[in-house]
Amino acid sequence: MQLREPCAASTEALLRETDQRSYQAISSSPLPEIEVSPIVTPLQDRHIKKASKSWVDAFEKDPNRKQTPDVKDATQIIMFCVMVYWRRRKIALTVDAGASIIFCTAPKSPRSLFDRCADWRAAEVQAKVKTAVSRSLGNRVEKMLYIDTLATEPTSQGWGYGGALLDSVGALADVTNQAVWLQSTNERNASFYLSHGYSTIDEAVIGDDNPNWHGAPVIIKIMVREPRPQRAARTDERQGFVNLV
């Protein structure tokens, strides 16, 4: 029995049919979901104009700022000056060149004039927050990182920018074995912080005993994230390899 070699035309047709079936199989398969994490970078001077606007827009509807009678709305010009100063003295990170920003104070950093300018809250707010922090944290607060502000422009919210910034500070705190604390003025933000490892340890109620207060009292939550244990590398000289513990 003789075997004949297939002709070139039939071979080409077979290859075309095979390629078509392969293409149909691939195209009918669901594409895998690719999750892209936001890129966190140090805040630069060229980002601050956008960052100051992001801050103003993000806090436009903050209940504490709107309901405190003697507080003035933040302006972009003032926050621009504050951020220029903060960038050189605090941990300053951003996503998307100022669309989302975070500032964090290291332990025992002195409060400057710019820090006081940035905190425009009423004397009642400052006093009650200070009392709550002293009651719940005591002298321990002097060894903790403090998140001064975290803000994302409204058009960039929901993309994980704020979470990426918060987790970056948390990672730094884990490496240095430090706790982090912050203040939250509404339930939505508190839920967000809870999802990133923070817990509420105390509260300051603003306006509950002030006859000049306009609107419902505002609850400011004092929230803390404890450092997480790190896997430390240790060399075992007897066995000649590195163990992770």
CA atoms within 13 A on the CB side of 11: 5
CATH number at residue 171: 3.40.630.30
pLDDT value at residue 155: 93
* Per-residue pLDDT, 104: 96
- The pLDDT value recorded for residue 20 is 60
pLDDT at 68: 42
Given a cut of 50, is residue 238 above it in pLDDT? no
State how beta strands 91-95 and 40-42 pair.
antiparallel
With a pLDDT cut of 70, the percent of the chain lying above it is 68
Average pLDDT across the chain, whole number:
79
Residue 102 belongs to a domain: yes
Residue 88 domain flag: yes
Whether 140 is in a domain gets the answer: yes
Total structural domains within the chain: 1
- Residue 110 located in a structural domain: yes
Residue 7 in domain? no
> What average pLDDT score do residues 9-19 get?
57
Q: Is residue 143, in this structure, part of any structural domain at all?
A: yes
Q: Is the pLDDT of residue 116 over 50?
A: yes
Domain span holding position 109: 40-233
Judged by average pLDDT, the poorest of 2-6, 90-94, 133-137 is 2-6
Report pLDDT for 62: 66
pLDDT band at 114, cuts 50/70/90? low
Q: pTM above 0.85?
A: no
* pLDDT (average), residues 56-77: 62
| Integer Cα distance of 53 and 43 in angstroms | 14
Do the domain assignments include residue 49?
yes
Q: Is residue 17 part of a domain?
A: no
More confidently predicted of 174 and 111? 174
